[in-house]
Amino acid sequence: MEGTVDRSRLTDLMRRETQRFVQDHPKSGELFEQGKRSLLAGVPMPWMTEWAGPYPVFVAEAEGARFTDVDGHTYIDFCLGDTGAMTGHAPKEAVEAIARQSARGITTMLPTEDSIWVGREMARRFGLPYWQFCLTATDANRFTIRLAREITKRPRILVFNWCYHGSVDETISTLEHGAQRARPGNIGAPVDPSLTTRVVEFNDVDQLEKALAHEDVACVLAEPALTNIGIVLPDPGFHDALRRLTREYGSYLVIDETHCICAGPGGATRAWGLEPDFLTIGKPLASGVPAACYGMSEEVAARVNAAMAEMPTTDVGGVGGTLSGNALSLAAMRATLENVLTDGAFDRMIALGERWTDGVKRVIQDHGFGWEVQRLGCRAEYWFCAQPPRTGGEAAAADDHELARFTHLFALNRGILLTPFHNMALMSPATTEQDVDAHTEVFAQTAGALART
């Protein structure tokens, strides 16, 4: 029947795609077996086993919007290291700067001139005057939470249900039937997360106000739109309410732009005129070299400086990192911001995001599936439900793991890599219209295979 997916057919199709994958990827399979002898789960990190095939493809090399695996297959990469390679792989200007700086010293625990250029550029893009550097977005969030706690003397933070902000203890908590608990898969939680965290649904202003009214929340840590449980966009007026309520109840607002930088050169903060107290970002800033940063307002900076002036040292108090702000990361960030993630690049990338969305929508309509497509700038994705979810809870409930694994594996077997865990595609400055159209064609084949009776 048009518009529905026959589950036994899906099982057969998945079996066929898995066989094809194994046949086409013998060398990756061999390396995975070798990996099991020295690596936990056979891979550098256990989540690498969660790709749609029975084992991950091992990468030989990557350039621009493509990578080649050890079996010699080339893929159009719409995952782009889940935003770590949003610049495209190995962009020339960044690679040259990385090589230059590597030859001139990588880390000294002393500042380099590039840090001043990057600090100014971040201020220009995001509107916050003061910046600090670290290596991952996780650390940027962790350090920001500590600073917010320090200057407010409040114990808790607030996050939105099914958010993801990295491996930050306080954020790994979700709601189940309205009650807060450790997120499924939370490994070795240090304490019950309800001691450190309040969780409410995105777009729910009433819940938000009730939670903030306890006046024990140091900061709200929020993505402008949820992007890690699929794209969940804010309702009109939601950000105004969030800003008004955080001010009213004395909580700082931390905006995490790590993924929402896809909305434009100044992320959603600039595109939507947000006014955060802190801003965090990592992943693509240095074209894949580990680099992240966090910015703060004049008022926050004054309070942080005053708090630190009272401390015997700022070295061992939980905000730090020996390699933070190293010369290589800063040189790579400067080259990336100056030459790769430019205003012009975003114009092209966002137009490609629109093209991707239009193509996928057309296919969905042609087959009468009750699915939706959502987009934020140059990031887009399809949902297996008729209405785009408004909250993290709705988004989690709409997940169709079995179907998603099939669409991912079908695409992978035909030279297209999507972001794992949801149906997301990201455009880089190196992505072309032909790449987008190749995805649309493969998506049409996927839909055709599922719809055939």
Q: Which residues bind ligand PLP (CB under 6 A)?
A: 82, 136-138, 141, 164-166, 223, 228, 256, 258-259, 282-283
CB 140 within 8 A of CB 293: yes
Q: Choose between 265 and 359: whose C-beta lies nearer to ligand PLP.
A: 265
* Beta carbon nearer to ligand PLP, 200 or 364: 200
C-beta of 119 vs 288, nearer to ligand PLP:
288
Taking a C-beta distance cutoff of 8 angstroms, is the pair 83, 288 a contact?
no
CA 121 to CA 452: how far, in whole Å?
53
Closest CA to 79 of 423, 373, 383, 349: 423
To the nearest 10°, report the CA torsion of 232, 410, 49, 260.
Answer: -30
Instruction: Tell me how far, at minimum, the Cβ of 286 lies from ligand PLP, in Å.
Output: 11
Helix-strand-coil percent breakdown of the chain, rounded to 5?
A: 45, 15, 35
Reference 253, options 235, 265, 240, 263; nearest CA is 240
- In the complex, the smallest distance separating the C-beta of residue 178 from ligand PLP, rounded to whole angstroms, is 24
Instruction: Name the DSSP letter for residue 258.
Output: T
Q: How far is the CB of 227 from ligand PLP (least distance, A)?
A: 6
Shortest separation between residue 8's beta carbon and ligand PLP, angstroms: 35
User: Least CB distance from residue 166 to ligand PLP, whole Å?
Assistant: 3
Nearest to ligand PLP of 345, 424 (CB atom): 424
| Residue nearest to ligand PLP according to CB distances in the complex | 166
Minimum distance from CB of 321 to ligand PLP (Å)? 12
Half-sphere exposure (Cβ direction) of 32: Cα atoms closer than 13 Å: 18
To the nearest whole angstrom, how small is the minimum distance from the Cβ of residue 302 to ligand PLP? 26
Q: Which residue, 82 or 277, is less far from ligand PLP as judged by CB?
A: 82
Residue number, 69 or 223, with CB nearest to ligand PLP: 223
* Tokens read off for 303: 């309070």
Each as own residue / partner, the long-range contacts of residues 381-390 (CB below 8 Å, 24 or more positions apart, any chain) are 381/230, 381/231, 381/419, 381/422, 381/423, 381/424, 381/425, 382/423, 383/230, 383/423, 388/231, 388/232, 388/233, 389/230, 389/232, 390/202, 390/203, 390/232, 390/235
Question: Starting at the edge strand that comes first in sequence, how are the strands of the sheet with 59-63 ordered?
Answer: 59-63, 66-69, 74-77, 416-417
- DSSP label at residue 175: E
CA distance linking residue 453 with residue 156, whole number of Å: 54
Distance of closest approach, residue 278 Cβ to ligand PLP, in angstroms: 13
Cβ-based nearer residue to ligand PLP, 281 or 331:
281
DSSP 452: -
Q: Which is nearer to ligand PLP, 17 or 256 (CB)?
A: 256
CB of 200 to ligand PLP, least distance (A): 17
**Residue 295 φ/ψ, nearest 5 degrees:** -115, 165
- How long, in residues, is the chain? 453
User: Among residues 228 and 269, whose Cβ is nearest to ligand PLP?
Assistant: 228
Distance of CA 293 to the CA centre of its chain: 15
H or E stretch including 33? Answer: helix 26-35
Give least dist CB 231 to ligand PLP, A.
12
Residue nearer to ligand PLP on the CB measure, 223 or 394: 223
| Residue 187 beta carbon to ligand PLP: minimum distance, rounded to whole angstroms | 15
| CB within 8 Å of 341: residues ≥ 6 apart | 86, 87, 261, 265, 284, 429
Q: 364 or 426, CB closer to ligand PLP? A: 426
